[in-house]
Structure 1
């Protein structure tokens, strides 16, 4: 069964607190909605403002294949503004619960039905397609709700919609409600809100109960907890529900998700299904190994299906298979020993609470790949004491030509003290530090520090670098690396 999709990102989605789209932004989103194959686009609410009408008119002028609708109350003033925008149809919203009829509209059921029927007649007389949406349908008396729908159909309504306005349905009650309405002889739509986190589940249950259309917003944005998430619903229908499908181009789902997030400023939670940054990210060594061998082991779909790419997250849970794959992605080839050293360095860093970024990985890998295992000098231990009441003091344990040496020294600061401690070895006491440069590679106080130095011995000058989260360690490693280069020739 082919399921139709009505997108209400430009109307219900824009009602997200703090979101206000310009006409050009609305047009950009509408163009993407058309490209991915949305059946019905609710372009806005024409009664809202002149700017809103400008937006709707701009969309209508594109000649899209999608049917373009405007939200409308069952009032002639609303419908006239819709006609001014030359829309294809209206989403005519009529409250049907006693709470809304009596407390909000201050009217009666009988008057409500008359208002609804008159509005439908007016729309049809002016050539508009009508989808009648019963607001708060999920809390309405069922017999009355059905009578509203039946009257609407008799007056020419093309489609009807059940609105779970405050998200109180459950999958069971949603299925039951739509199953009781399935004998209605026009298409039935479902419009859910996510107040209890059930919008997608309730929408899927409604489709199994008899609905043939659903309303949704990109990324599930909307008032309060939002609306049915378009991307979650489409993928669930196409991948999980047998005998159901949409005509959506799912390969472009991620693109439109990012566009809407960027234009609305509504942040996408990292663990959001389908479009969240972690949706196809793997850190666990077991998972990464399985994914590399066969992606179906830990992914219900390939990321490419929705325009994504898989990524292996660098961290303490990562395994060597995932690490090697990530290194290959950034253009690095390592042998078994180098891979193990990089792996150990990442574990050490992660155990200190540091988030290991791609920049960090590059630095760690560069350090390991530059290691000369025939270096004459190797750093063992480094201890530094510094403060505003003590002279900076450092002690180092180094191995020089297989001889273990323990030295200590003082300096003007902790880095100076540490380097002086290394220089106390007679073999390189005449090495001069002639240039010293420090960069923080990424933001934050736990960022990697990149120390680049120049050393001189006689007429020989060499450059070296050390990269660590600790500036003192980075400086000493750079200094020792430089000395090793001097001693190699």
Structure 2
């Protein structure tokens, strides 16, 4: 069975607290979604602002392959706004649960049905296809919901949608009301699930198994409160898990990780490291037992290949590490210690792990260099001097001194903030001496309070296009940013120096 993927990142996803996209950013994301292979894009809610209407119109006229849809209440003004934005497909909705009818809409069930029918007829008169949602369907009295969908179909709706508006359903109940809607309408049925209880993807799958043919999803599962069903999780579950009937989508899965990172950057919401499918740790291994198994056959501890979703496998070392994984990491740099040297290196790695310290591959190489007597296996770049100056009425200023392969270099620069000034000063040194430039920078808070920890991720690239990334965690944003850049530079310079090089041992 072919499942239709209806992406609402640009509408429900943008309703995430703190997220606001410009028309140009929305068009940029819409193009990514189209390249990803989604069947429909909910471009926005045209009536809410001039900018939103402009964004929807830009997307509707961009020549994308996906169906372009806009949200509208069961109201002529909303429908006109959608039509005037150039849409021929509208997602209409009205609440059907008693709690919404009484406390939000102040109307009875009969009036809600009349409004729904009237809005469908008006939208059809304006030449639009209609997908109709019974908002808060999972808290609506089941008999009324079934009758409501029947009348929506008779009024001329082209599709029916079941929203689990506050994530209140269980998979079993979602299956029951989906079967009701399919039987009552004879229309293609969609399911739109929220993640308040962590069941959005499970409820979506249950609805699809019960007869729905379309899933409403967002990239990274973003959305109001706890978010929506995650596109990447749902698509890979449908493709890879064991179902009684095969289900496919038109998604180009190798683009999932790249799309996830791009959307994350544009909306300003960091993807949690342990996020399924697209998190940084989704294919990361430290445990000796796991790395040994993965090196023998990746399927031992990975349900799918990371390449299938455009991701990469990552081995790390720490107190849980084993010899196989550690030696595999060293082997990437052409470093091959003897059996005895490996044991010594591993014992030192574990000692650092027991102290709560993260051991990067740069640190691993430095330890290995000391053990096997290779002075070249060390940090190529070290911070030897650093200061920043900032304040009200003065432009932030930074001084940075780096030791690059035994030679001292220093630079100063201004910036829009202390971090920008520091990175600009470092860029002066690295661009001139090591031909390494900073290409990506990400910042996220990972704890609360006045002494919150921040996480900085950095991407660097040399003149030949070789890339490396690094992550640093600390209390001070400026210092943590500088350290992340230095780690990234060390990685790319060591890889360039040691790539394919044989070492003693």
TM over 0.5: yes
| Alignment partners' CA distance in 2, 1:370 and 1:347 | 20
| Alignment partners' CA distance in 1, 2:162 and 2:408 | 66
Query: 1:59-101 CA deviation, whole Å, 9 max, x = no partner?
Result: 1121111000001001111111111111131110111111111
- For 2:38, the equivalent position in structure 1 comes to 38
Query: 1:33-75 CA deviation, whole Å, 9 max, x = no partner?
Result: 1011101100000011111111111111211110000010011
| Alignment partners' CA distance in 2, 1:113 and 1:437 | 76
Query: 1:276-327 CA deviation, whole Å, 9 max, x = no partner?
Result: 1111001111111111111111111000000011011111111111111112
Distance 1:438 1:127, change over 3 A: closer
Distance 1:438 1:368, change over 3 A: farther
Return 5+ residue gaps in structure 2 as ranges.
376-405, 411-469, 480-505
| Alignment partners' CA distance in 1, 2:247 and 2:318 | 40
Q: TM-score, normalised by structure 2?
A: 0.73
Q: Is the 8 Å Cα contact of residues 200 and 228 (structure 2) preserved in structure 1?
A: yes
| Alignment partners' CA distance in 1, 2:287 and 2:13 | 36
Aligned-pair CA distance for 1:331: 4.1
Distance 1:443 1:221, change over 3 A: closer
Aligned-pair CA distance for 1:338: 3.2
- For 2:356, the equivalent position in structure 1 comes to 353
1:337 aligns with 2:343: no
- For 2:461, the equivalent position in structure 1 comes to none
Q: Is the 8 Å Cα contact of residues 6 and 41 (structure 1) preserved in structure 2?
A: yes
- For 1:181, the equivalent position in structure 2 comes to 181
| Alignment partners' CA distance in 2, 1:27 and 1:258 | 17
- For 1:384, the equivalent position in structure 2 comes to none
Q: Judge which range, 316-325 or 173-182, deviates more.
A: 173-182
Aligned-pair CA distance for 1:221: 0.7
Q: Is the 8 Å Cα contact of residues 146 and 180 (structure 2) preserved in structure 1?
A: no
| Alignment partners' CA distance in 2, 1:436 and 1:358 | 23
- For 1:224, the equivalent position in structure 2 comes to 225
Q: Is the 8 Å Cα contact of residues 341 and 368 (structure 1) preserved in structure 2?
A: yes
| Alignment partners' CA distance in 2, 1:150 and 1:61 | 34
Distance 1:115 1:443, change over 3 A: closer
- For 1:248, the equivalent position in structure 2 comes to 251
Note the 1:159-238 alignment, pairs <5 A: 159-183=159-183, 184-238=185-239
- For 1:112, the equivalent position in structure 2 comes to 112
Note the 1:125-136 alignment, pairs <5 A: 125-136=125-136
| Alignment partners' CA distance in 1, 2:91 and 2:355 | 56
Distance 1:326 1:217, change over 3 A: same
> Match of 1:47, SS?
helix
| Alignment partners' CA distance in 2, 1:249 and 1:341 | 45
Note the 1:88-487 alignment, pairs <5 A: 88-183=88-183, 184-240=185-241, 241=243, 242-370=245-373
Aligned-pair CA distance for 1:268: 1.2
Distance 1:444 1:263, change over 3 A: closer
> Match of 1:35, SS?
helix
Q: Is the 8 Å Cα contact of residues 43 and 69 (structure 1) preserved in structure 2?
A: yes
| Alignment partners' CA distance in 2, 1:201 and 1:371 | 53
> Match of 1:182, SS?
helix
| Alignment partners' CA distance in 1, 2:136 and 2:374 | 68
| Alignment partners' CA distance in 1, 2:332 and 2:138 | 50
| Alignment partners' CA distance in 2, 1:438 and 1:64 | 50
| Alignment partners' CA distance in 2, 1:270 and 1:331 | 29
Q: TM-score, normalised by structure 1?
A: 0.75
| Alignment partners' CA distance in 1, 2:347 and 2:314 | 20
Q: Is the 8 Å Cα contact of residues 91 and 130 (structure 2) preserved in structure 1?
A: yes
Aligned-pair CA distance for 1:216: 0.8
Return 5+ residue gaps in structure 1 as ranges.
373-434, 448-489
> Match of 1:235, SS?
helix
| Alignment partners' CA distance in 1, 2:337 and 2:126 | 71
Aligned-pair CA distance for 1:181: 2.7
| Alignment partners' CA distance in 2, 1:331 and 1:157 | 64
Moved over 4 A (4+): 435-439, 441-445
Query: 1:343-392 CA deviation, whole Å, 9 max, x = no partner?
Result: 222112112221112221232223234259xxxxxxxxxxxxxxxxxxxx
Matched residue pairs, number? 383
